[in-house]
Amino acid sequence: MDVRGKLALVTGGSDGIGREIALQLQGAGADVIVTGRSAEKLQAMAALGFGTIAGDLSTATGVDAVVNGVAGKPLALLVNNAGVGSEYELEDAASLDSAVHCIRTNLDAPIALCTRLLPTLRAQPDAAIVNVTSGLAIAPRAGGSIYCATKAGLRSYTQAIRHLLKDSNVRVIEALPPVVETNMTTGRSGKKMSAHDCAAEIVAGIRTGKSEVNAGMVKLLQMVNSISPALARRIMIRF
């Protein structure tokens, strides 16, 4: 996809991987609108020439704000990047609110945005949807059951709508990051990919027309999974 002159929407684009995707799309010549919850971070993005939309995607009001914010605009690229973790603990009913928040942000919102913005995308000569899932969509880790479930659900949804849109002008891309150095992973030990490098692989995949972008160590995980899904699960469940 040639992104020059095209209008892109990056959810969660004021921080982390989303911010880097937005910056790199802008650097490649796209006009970019970002969404976020922090007024301060959105103000900083506006100062860099980005359009901004404030909204919490775990709420219907937030989703409405995003849809209304691009109404009437020639949106050609939707990047569903916004995501949150969950403090869910098995057998702790009080943590169910955290689970619901994660499900609404990571799964419900991308589905809603794909559905509601598809007519606009179809109206463009060349368009794409990018759903950012995770290596954990391939095989889960026990310590992040709800997050993994949302990413696995989004992966399945992405594969299904890719088939439904295969004869259309809308390409459907899945991006699968590994553990990336962001606010969400603060406190986690081990090797982490930089947000800049992860975004670079995703943007390169958009520009070269890939259907699936396995970033960083996810390439190795996909290789293991292709040989033995059971082995991939055994490795990742304790990750």
Q: What does the DSSP assignment read for 60-91?
A: HHHHHHHHHHTTTS-EEEEEE---------TT
Total H helices, total E strands in the chain: 9, 7
Within a domain: residue 165? yes
Record the tokens describing residue 205, joined without a space. 């995949």
Q: Supply the range of the domain harboring residue 20.
A: 7-236
4-15 per-position pLDDT tens digit: 999 999 999 999
Please choose, from the candidates 220, 201, 221, the residue with its C-alpha nearest in 3D space to the C-alpha of residue 210.
201
Q: How many residues can be counted in the chain?
A: 239
Q: pLDDT-derived band of residue 182, with 50, 70 and 90 as boundaries?
A: confident
Provide mean pLDDT across the span 18-29. Answer: 98
52-62 per-position pLDDT tens digit: 999 999 999 99
Number of neighbouring beta carbons within 10 Å of residue 194: 14
118-136 per-position pLDDT tens digit: 999 999 999 999 999 999 9
Within a domain: residue 14? yes
Within a domain: residue 230? yes
Within a domain: residue 1? no
What's the CA gap between 109 and 128, in Å, rounded?
Answer: 17
Provide mean pLDDT across the span 217-228. Answer: 97
Q: Which of 50, 88, 147, 157 is catalytic?
A: 147
Beta sheet of 127-132, edge-to-edge order? 51-54, 31-36, 7-10, 75-80, 127-132, 170-176, 212-214
147 is catalytic: yes
Q: What percent of the chain is predicted at pLDDT more than 90?
A: 94
Within a domain: residue 2? no
Looking at the 3D structure of the chain, how many domains does it have?
Answer: 1
113 burial (CB, 10 Å; 0-12 / 13-18 / 19+) is buried
Residue 212 has pLDDT above 70, yes or no: yes
Residue 191 has pLDDT above 90, yes or no: no
Residue 204 has pLDDT above 80, yes or no: yes
Under a CB-based contact definition with an 8 Å cutoff, are residues 211 and 155 in contact?
no
Record the tokens describing residue 186, joined without a space. 């603060």
131-160 per-position pLDDT tens digit: 999 999 999 999 999 999 999 999 999 999
This model's pTM is above 0.75: yes
CATH number (domain holding residue 148): 3.40.50.720
